[in-house]
Chain A
Amino acid sequence: MPPSPTLPLAPPSGMDDHLPDETRARASVVARVLDLFGRFGYERVITPAFEHADVLERGLEIDRRDLLRFVEPESGEVALLRPDITPQIARIIATRLRDRPAPWRLSYHGTVLRQRQRTGRARTARQRTQLGVEHVGTASREADAEVIELAIEACRIAGLDRFRIELGHVGVPRAALSGLPEPIRSAAADALARKDVAELEGRLDVAGLDGEPRRVLLALAELYGEPDVVHRARRVLTDAGSRAALDEIEAVHDTLGERGHGERLQVDLGDLRGHAYYTGVSFSVLAEGPGEPLGAGGRYDRLLGRFGMPAPATGFALDLEHLIWALQHASTGWEPRPPPRVVAVDVRAPILDTLRTGGVQVATLPEADAQEALAFARAWRYDAVLVAGGFERVSDGARLQSPLPADGELIALTRWLRHEE
């Protein structure tokens, strides 16, 4: 059946393609980051695009309206396009990798899908690409610090220099909110999450909340900034739960400081993002560009238990689109230089073989003359056209009479193609 004329050919809103130049740049970032994960012992896994909703939803803290559910025809069960990969990793570890000795270090690269409500925020992207790791089975701070350091190194290896890591700990706001009566608590949590002091005060007024708990909650909305806010916080937060949380932040901060990352760190003690999910130190990666964190992570010691294998865990995910947005914003020449690219017309196979073996990308144009080949090369961003007589460089029309480069000459050819001669 021909496509209906009323259906646009473009993908549904919020879905997107990536064309060759962009894909090459993305793939290079992905390859470097995944390679980095591997060098820290994080083994890559691939998880399915959808699963039974009741399995994935055990590990989610996402607005239910954002989920893309459907009835899986074979089983009649409700399935869910994965909105997050962490619950899948938790499932894998709790089932198929359960018998391996701890710790489990896994990494992933994949797309996640979320519905965006028409009534929701301005952003509408539905498909996001995540790069992440999960570290399961280590309760100590070394794992928290390792994961955060890995996030820092991932951004650096992608080419980003100007970014900061913001540390938080859900134990701090949770302790402060625990004193509130149930009906007020979630409204107060919302107001605190938005640092909306006026709204928070209003909610506390309604609850008739005075004294210490009120002072602490209002202070939390202001306790963010450079790491010294932890010292300021110690004067305000005196309960055992908060003090333990501050100790943990400080320990992670100090470990990262010893590793030379102190300058990148800042703290937000009123951060409530993912508060039903995280159980310890959490963090976000902040950089100019997309207006949202590039990624986030933290300790989630209760998730594995929901899959039948209680274990401590920490991890993070970077949003690839946001990371690339930040790289473009910083415009630090992050885009990898593609290998030399050549269009060949009427060139003998052995020459093509030599070039390809040498790492040159060679596309043949069997039906083109030299003029058409040049136009093709320009449109598809090739460096040069190769005809029997030699190379013609696309950018300036310069010629090189060297139809068959010997092994040693490939380097010279590459330099010439890139204007480095």
Chain B
Amino acid sequence: MLERDELVWAIPKGRVLAQLLPLFERAGLDTAPLTVKSRKLIRRAAGCRFLLLKPDDVPTYVEYGAADVGVVGRDVLLEREYDLYMPVDLGIGCCRLAVAGLVDAAYPPPPGRTLRVATKYPNVARRFFASRGLPAEIIFVQGSVELAPLTGLSDVIVDIVETGETLRQNGLKVFEAVAEVTSVVVANRVGLKLKRARIAPFLNALRGAEGAAP
């Protein structure tokens, strides 16, 4: 009785969307509006609305309640401390955050100089090396992180590794895993409670479908 009728989903554009569609279909969500070629950022479907967002922005929209539920990778959630529920792990978008560097580099580094780390995930990297008791200089870069050790900007990188192909082609290798990453359903703290009757069936269906994707 208290619920607004429409459920608002924050959907990440890009890599994970293709893996997400079959799960959504199996959970009974109308995904047709998500596959239409269009530049519209809001797509309407029966009983819900999809917001198409840059993956990093999904938790922000859900935390503020601008969306009730969303799908996002754990890497984004690890980097910033969002206040969200994460009721379903979808088992898609699997990859890991890892420390990587030049194939012939010494790791852990010999003592004597502060380790330089280039990364898009400064907080994850800072926490990881702090937990190892390794002093590290964290260098924030926006992209093409692999370039950093090749050019001498940093000794190692902390980045997402999916197949390892990009690393191989650039003469880098993984030294150590930092965290396993999958895509999860996130829910607003209040939205999940006030719209429980509408959200719960989808969560249960998605839970049944999890990991079923290729």
Contacts and interface: CB of A to CB of B under 8 A. Distances in A.
Interface of A: 117, 119-123, 162-164, 166, 194-199, 221, 224-226, 263, 266, 268, 286-293
B155 interface: no
A121 B194 contact: no
B85 A291 contact: no
B210 to A, nearest CB: 8
Given A164-B2, A290-B65, A194 B193 contact: no
A166 B182 CA distance: 31
Nearest to B62: A291
Given A164-B2, A291-B65, A286 B193 contact: yes
A172 B182 CA distance: 30
Chain A interface, >50% SS class: loop
Given A119-B123, A194-B86, A197-B87, A288 B194 contact: yes
Nearest to B82: A121
B55 to A, nearest CB: 15
Given A224-B193, A288-B65, 18 more contacts: A117-B81, A119-B80, A122-B80, A123-B64, A164-B2, A164-B193, A164-B194, A195-B86, A195-B187, A198-B88, A225-B200, A263-B1, A266-B193, A286-B190, A287-B190, A288-B194, A291-B64, A291-B188
Q: How large is the interface on B (under 10, 10 to 19, 20 to 34, 35 or more residues)?
A: 20 to 34
A291 B192 CA distance: 10
A108 to B, nearest CB: 25
A266 B200 CA distance: 15
B189 interface: yes
Given A122-B64, A164-B193, A287-B190, A292 B83 contact: yes
A120 B81 contact: yes
Interface in B108-134: 123
A266 B196 CA distance: 11
A225 B193 CA distance: 7
Q: Which of B184, B193, B200 has the most CB of A within 10 A?
A: B193
A293 B66 CA distance: 15
Contacts of B86: 194-196, 198-199
Contacts of B65: 288-292
B81 A119 contact: yes
A132 B200 CA distance: 33
Contacts of B88: 197-198
B189 A224 contact: no
A264 to B, nearest CB: 9
A163 B2 CA distance: 7
A417 B86 CA distance: 54
Contacts of B184: 196, 198
Nearest to B85: A195
B159 interface: no
A293 B194 contact: no
A162 B81 contact: no
